[in-house]
Amino acid sequence: MGVASPPRGSSPGGIWYELGMKRSSVLVVDDEEDVRGLIRLLLERAGLDVTEAGSGREALRRLHQVHPDLVVLDVTMPELDGWQALERIRDLSDVPVLMLTARAAELDKVRGLKAGADDYVTKPFGRQELLARVEALLRRSAGPPEVREAYADGAVQIDFASREVQILEPRPHAVQLTPLEFRLLGAFVRHPNQVLGRDQLLELVWGDAETVAADQVKLYVGYLRRKLAWDVAERSPLETVRGFGYRYRPSMEDALREQAPGAALPTST
Ligand SMILES: [Mg+2]
């Protein structure tokens, strides 16, 4: 995981770290080589790392390989088109997606919104317009600028940028979470020792306490507990508080002993 720098400070829960700076990377998907080349040039000049894909299928492969911070996705492509590619991307990842659409039709925009695209640029696009939208999406998804957060306590280690999760019991190993499970775990470690109710979790994790079915919370807490081997109540840091919700209780002592040998105790700030 490369948790290298010393603890940033204390929180009521585990230890939060800042990792080294990372250049943002963009996956550019377009079946036309000229268009890809143009976008690459533009984005590289702006200091971004660019990976290209010439088809929807290649885009899915690259997504796995490079874990980009943003995908620029052409709509009109043979075989797997941009909409179909977007659907598959959304099954795998929360990465922001900027669609390149050839038609200015409102219909496309509405369709994109529903399918989970984050923004659109209509071809032919101006360079400044494309760059402005790319940068806006990267800013929106990056959180505080150039900070990569990592978290560790006696039970779990999380790298929020690479989305790597490791559990320490019964032996340290990596766990694959879906984007939703990852956000749920994030909500718990960011609110240590607090009881989070169902509506609060719907708001924090789903971003919607109105229309999402409330039993989703119970369902996903169950998935999370199984994947993290926290399904035995006596050994689980994630408690059910009957009638109220859930509470995450991190163990600081373990975190300090196992994760940061020799590190100074974080002082209260
Ligand atoms: Mg095309």
Helix (H, G, I), strand (E, B) or coil at 210: coil
186: confidence class by pLDDT, cuts 50, 70, 90: very high
C-beta separation of 216 from 180 below 8 A: no
Give me the CATH number covering residue 100: 3.40.50.2300
Q: Could you tell me the CATH number of the domain that includes residue 219?
A: 1.10.10.10
pLDDT at 262: 40
Residue 264 has pLDDT above 50, yes or no: no
Same domain, 94 and 183: no
Lowest mean pLDDT among 141-145, 245-249, 257-261: 257-261
Q: Decide which of 141, 159, 190 is a domain's last residue.
A: 141
35 C-alpha to ligand 1 centroid (Å): 9
What are the residues whose beta carbons fall under 8 Å from the beta carbon of 26, sequence distance 6 or more?
Answer: 43, 48, 49, 50, 51, 68, 69, 70, 71, 72, 134
Q: Is the domain of 90 the same as that of 183?
A: no
Do 22 and 134 fall into the same domain? yes
Q: What is the dihedral of CA 26, 178, 17, 12, to 10 degrees?
A: 140
- The pTM for the full model equals 0.49
Query: Does 20 score more than 60 pLDDT?
Result: no
Query: Over 90: is that where the pLDDT of 241 sits?
Result: yes
How much distance in Å is there from the Cα of 36 to the middle of ligand 1?
10
**pLDDT over 50 (residue 263):** no
Does residue 266 belong to any structural domain of this protein?
A: no
Calculate the average pLDDT of the chain.
Answer: 82
Q: Which residue has the tokens 């019964």?
A: 170
Distance of CA 97 from the midpoint of ligand 1 (Å): 16
> Do 115 and 163 share a domain, yes or no?
no
Q: Are residues 46 and 154 both part of a single domain?
A: no
Co-location of 44 and 118 in the same domain: yes
Q: How far is the CA of 34 from the centre of ligand 1 (A)?
A: 11
Cα(75) to centroid of ligand 1, in Å? Answer: 6
**pLDDT of 14 over the 90 cut:** no
Same domain, yes or no: 134 and 156:
no
The full 3-state SS of 22-79, as one line of letters, equals: CCCEEEEECCCHHHHHHHHHHHHHCCCEEEEECCHHHHHHHHHHHCCCEEEEECCCCC
**Is residue 155 domain-shared with residue 240, that is, in the same domain?**
yes
- The answer to the question of residue 221 being in a domain is yes
Q: What is the pLDDT of residue 45?
A: 85
Does residue 260 lie within any of the structural domains? no
Q: Is the pLDDT of residue 258 over 80?
A: no
Centre of ligand 1 from the C-alpha of residue 123, in Å: 10
- Structure confidence at residue 10 (pLDDT): 44
Residue 5 has pLDDT above 50, yes or no: no
Q: Which of 141, 165, 194 is the last residue of a domain?
A: 141
Per the structure, the count of domains in the chain is 2
Task: Reply yes or no on whether the pLDDT at 155 is more than 50.
Answer: yes
Ligand 1 centre from 26 Cα, in Å?
Answer: 18
Domain containing 24: what range?
A: 15-141
Number of other residues whose CB lies within 10 A of the CB of residue 57:
15
Is the pLDDT confidence value at 98 over 80? yes
Same domain, 136 and 49: yes
Same-domain status, 177 and 82: no
